[in-house]
Amino acid sequence: MNGKMRGSLVVLAAGALVLTGCTATATNQGGDGGDNAGGDEIIIGAVIAETGVMNQYDLPAMAAVEMAIEDLNAEGGILGRQVRLIQEDYKSERNLAPTVAQEVINQGADALIVSCDYDFGSPAALAAQSAGLISVSLCAGSPRFGPIGGLDLGFSAGMVSQATAAAAAEWANTEQGWKTAYVLEDPTLRVDTDWANGFIDAFEHFAGEGAVLGKDTFQNSDPSINAQISKIQALPTPPEVLVISSYAPGGASALRQVRAAGIDVPVLLNDALDSTGWFDAVPDLANTWVANHAQYHGGDPSDKVNEIIDRYVEAQGDFPPSSLIVDGYIAMQMIAQGMERADSTEGEAVTAALEDGTPVETVVGPATFSETLHTAADRPVTIAALEGGEPTFAARLTASYLPEIATE
């Protein structure tokens, strides 16, 4: 029994390793389409997930990239050259991304669009950097997407999570008048931890020391958060707002259990939970807000955003799944304005132009980049109310206070 037990334990351990995702995938990319470098057009190479776990984020944002390219071409292109998109699927496999990126670079790409996350997007961004090209992640929210994370020529069209959290905290305290908060943090992904910490820092800045009554954590895959709920219910006074920093499905399931337990205080969610896909998981969804990137069901203060959403609905027959779609448009605005300012497509020149402190004019407002931050910390944040199965526009603001962002 013992010998057999040990044998199965070794096998178990091996299985667990495999389960956690240490899987290798064979590369099987073939065929490339000639060299266009230095031609009379600007080639944007997109290395994104058409399949696999990341496609839910990448595909809607890519639809907006295509719209931005149409618009740019209608206005004469970039540097007077027409823009052409080539797109390859890295299948949400990080180890496949550099090969796919190289293939796109070999086809003459002048800049790369990469996946919507630091971990998934940085391998292709590094390949672009080695070829002297800039890359823009569709919507990564980590401040590491840039020099902090080793990507000197890599940018993100997302928003720094601490800054988004600070705007949410400022809105909660100054606009809504909530004086106390309780934070449920899901530490599975770094970006959600950053968001929770940014919120706590900023909320105590606006509402005063001790305004955050407590923080608890849960794992995204936890089948039950009964223990955490019992702790909230044991508080002497309930918080005026409950903050959940997570992503679907874990965050949605946490909200479902919170509401089922009869905790009916206002709930504020981070931008990783901004998607309509989980709404049905929470019966009678109400009194809930989400900090996101734009209003994506119509009614945004920016006409351009509404136009992007309309065009998406026309092409796809439904609203986009989340507000991250605007980041795709913004990614192209960053590339276009950077190249125009640098009067070049060369990576270092475009990077220097974007870093010079002049904001990029995006569809939701200005976004500034610096030598340390290649993800905007000052782009206006949108707050949406979730009620009746739909997000509705509630506010747009840039935080007046920014929590410290570690630059290690």
Partner 1 sequence: MNAVFQFLIDALSLGSIYACIALGIALIFGVMNLVNLAHGELIMVTGYTLLLTHGLPLPLRIIIAITAGVLAGILMDKLAFRFIRGAKPATLMIVSFGIAYLLQNLAILFIGSQARAVALPSWVSARISVGGIGVSPLDLVTVLVTVLLLAGMGLVLYRTPIGRQMRAASEDFTMARLVGVKSDRVISTAFALAGFLAAVAGILLIAKTGTVTPTMGLAPLLAGVVATVIGGSGNLKAAVYGAYLFGALTVAIQAALPTDLVAFRDAVAFALVILVLIVRPQGLFIRRAVAERV
- Where b means 16+ CB within 10 Å and e means fewer, 289-327 reads bbbbbbbbbeebebeebbebbebbeeeeeebbbbbbbbb
Chosen residue from 32, 70, 152, 222 binding partner 1 by CB under 8 A: 222
Sign, CA torsion 135/328/41/350: negative
Residue 234 as a binder of partner 1 (CB under 8 A): the answer is yes
- String marking each residue 310-339 x if it binds partner 1 according to CB under 8 A: -----------x------------------
Q: What are phi and psi of 115, to 5 degrees?
A: -60, 165
CA atoms of 136 and 125, how far apart (whole Å): 8
- CA distances (Å), origin 134, targets 45, 97, 269: 11, 16, 32
CA atoms of 220 and 241, how far apart (whole Å): 21
Residue 217 as a binder of partner 1 (CB under 8 A): the answer is yes
Residue 219 as a binder of partner 1 (CB under 8 A): the answer is yes
Residue 25 as a binder of partner 1 (CB under 8 A): the answer is no
Residue 406 as a binder of partner 1 (CB under 8 A): the answer is no
- Distance in Å, CB of 295 to partner 1, minimum: 21
Chosen residue from 226, 316, 358, 392 binding partner 1 by CB under 8 A: 226
What H or E segment, with its residue span, contains residue 145?
none
DSSP state for residue 380 in the 8-state scheme: P
- String marking each residue 278-297 x if it binds partner 1 according to CB under 8 A: xxxxxxx-------------
Neighbours of 60 (CB within 10 A): 26
Span of 3-11, 149-157, 337-345, 346-354 interacting with partner 1 by CB under 8 A: 3-11
Chosen residue from 27, 233, 372, 392 binding partner 1 by CB under 8 A: 233
Span of 93-101, 133-141, 229-237, 301-309 interacting with partner 1 by CB under 8 A: 229-237
Q: Select 56 or 82, whichever has its Cβ closest to partner 1.
A: 56
Bridge-partner residues for 84, per DSSP? 43
Q: Select 191 or 373, whichever has its Cβ closest to partner 1.
A: 191
Chosen residue from 35, 37, 53, 264 binding partner 1 by CB under 8 A: 53
Cis peptide before 249 (omega within 30 of 0): yes
DSSP state for residue 359 in the 8-state scheme: P
> Contact, 203 vs 169, CB < 8 A?
yes
Residue 356 as a binder of partner 1 (CB under 8 A): the answer is no
- Distance in Å, CB of 8 to partner 1, minimum: 6
By the criterion CB under 8 A, which residues form the site for partner 1? Answer: 1-2, 4-9, 11-12, 14-16, 18-19, 23, 51-56, 92, 187, 214-217, 219, 221-224, 226-231, 233-234, 248-249, 252-253, 256-257, 260-262, 275, 277-284, 321
